[in-house]
Structure 1
Amino acid sequence: MRADHIGQELLSKSIGKPSIGGPFSLITHTSEPFTDKDLLGKWTLMYFGFTNCPDICPEELDKMSEAVDMIGKAEKGGEVTPVFISVDPARDTVEAVRTYISDFHPKMIGLTGDYDAVKGTCKAYRVYFSTPPDAKPGDDYLVDHSIFFYLMDPLGQFVDAFGKNTTAKEVSEKTLDAMSKWEQAGGNKAAGV
């Protein structure tokens, strides 16, 4: 076996890590189709929330945006793509998501879709969400959902999860550490980055 094939094989295994991630097909805030394949070759921070969230979602997206900037400015930093995935398909139209993410990082990708597409994506990423039965676009309600965001590597594999109590500095440090280990293991070459 060639050395680069062995490296790719080692990098594609997630021993001792939860099975988080997988195929999905959603729509971007610019009305373009977007799948899990569009994230390959990139480091990604992914947050699942909703645009009518009064406080927690904006706080977490601000923190994620700050971490993305810290990572980009670090001496041995790199680029991380911030992604917001709606868990409120009844109200979070493409336009609502576009308007919402404009308040956060300029590189943020906003994703939405119909209920089944969102539910399937949440299931693949082990994200809990609950909307009221028969929710309609004009209804006023809150969505109960998981409050954390994921770091995914360029192969689309789960690296780490960051909760509400994790600071932007901690997110950036852990992400930079993961990027460094990835590069030392030959990950950039194996992933074609």
Structure 2
Amino acid sequence: MNMRIRVTALALFLAGSLAACSSEPPVQPPLAGARIGGAFRLTDQDGRTVTDRDFAGRYRIVYFGYTFCPDVCPVDVQNIAAALKLIETKDAALGKRIVPIFVTVDPARDTPAVLKQFVSAFHPRMVGLTGSAEVIAATARAYGIYYARGKGTADGYMMDHSRQIYLFDPDGKPLALLPEAPPQAMADEVMKWAH
């Protein structure tokens, strides 16, 4: 009887050990290994030249849009700012390591001064980036962003564009697409992958 208990205990121990060895690997970020992003050289809202290397060591929330957008862009950027504020409240150290970046797809109208007014309305650390039409086009391509000048209106013209909100790691590698809303869902997704 005693031998039977020992054999059963040994079998249970070995089964548990094997199960531990065959456990699933840790979950990888959804965009791990994706070819999104890369080097850029743009102009920020203060008129300074900025490259991707200026953000090394920090997580980046990157969004492409334009300041003359009547509804979608301001709402998305407001949600990004609100999500970052939620993160800052919950984990101040992590919050400081995240930089929200708004890249225009309308460089003809989005001068540094226009960007400064726009981004400062949402978050004090939000960075607005612009550049020549050619440089913006190359940057948008690298980040998988579609955009095109749309129809004219009484106030000018609209821009058609995709609305991905990307999270990049401190090395500039893509981690995840963030949900557009609500801010809590965006904050949760950032905190899931940012450590």
Of 186, 191, 195, which residue of structure 2 is paired with 1:171?
186
d(CA) in 2 for partners of 1:15 and 1:54? 30
> SS state of the match for residue 187, structure 2?
helix
Cα 1:99/1:17, change in 2 over 3 Å: same
Please, which runs of 5 or more residues in structure 2 have no aligned partner? Answer: 1-29
Of stretches 96-105 and 22-31 in structure 1, the one that deviates more from structure 2 is 96-105
Counterpart contact for 1:162–1:171, Cα < 8 Å: yes
Higher Cα Rg: structure 1 or 2?
2
Percent of paired sites with the same residue: 32
Q: Normalising to structure 2: TM-score of the pair?
A: 0.77
Counterpart contact for 2:31–2:175, Cα < 8 Å: no
Cα 1:75/1:112, change in 2 over 3 Å: closer
- Which residue of the partner structure matches residue 183 of structure 1? none
Residues 60-103 of structure 1 show CA distances to partners (whole Å, capped at 9, x for unaligned) of 00000011111111148612111110000111111111111121
Cα 1:15/1:106, change in 2 over 3 Å: closer
d(CA) in 1 for partners of 2:127 and 2:92? 24
> SS state of the match for residue 62, structure 2?
strand
Taking only aligned residues, the RMSD between alpha carbons, in angstroms, comes to 2.2
Counterpart contact for 1:147–1:163, Cα < 8 Å: no
- Which residue of the partner structure matches residue 177 of structure 2? 161
- Which residue of the partner structure matches residue 156 of structure 2? 140
> Alignment length, in residue pairs?
163
Counterpart contact for 2:80–2:183, Cα < 8 Å: yes
Counterpart contact for 2:100–2:127, Cα < 8 Å: yes
- Which residue of the partner structure matches residue 139 of structure 2? 121
* Partner amino acid, structure 2, of 1:28: D
> SS state of the match for residue 84, structure 2?
helix
Q: Normalising to structure 1: TM-score of the pair?
A: 0.78
Residues 115-172 of structure 1 show CA distances to partners (whole Å, capped at 9, x for unaligned) of 0110011011111110259x9xxx71000001121111000010111243x3211111
- Which residue of the partner structure matches residue 79 of structure 2? 63
Cα 1:22/1:177, change in 2 over 3 Å: same
Q: Does 1:109 align with 2:149?
A: no
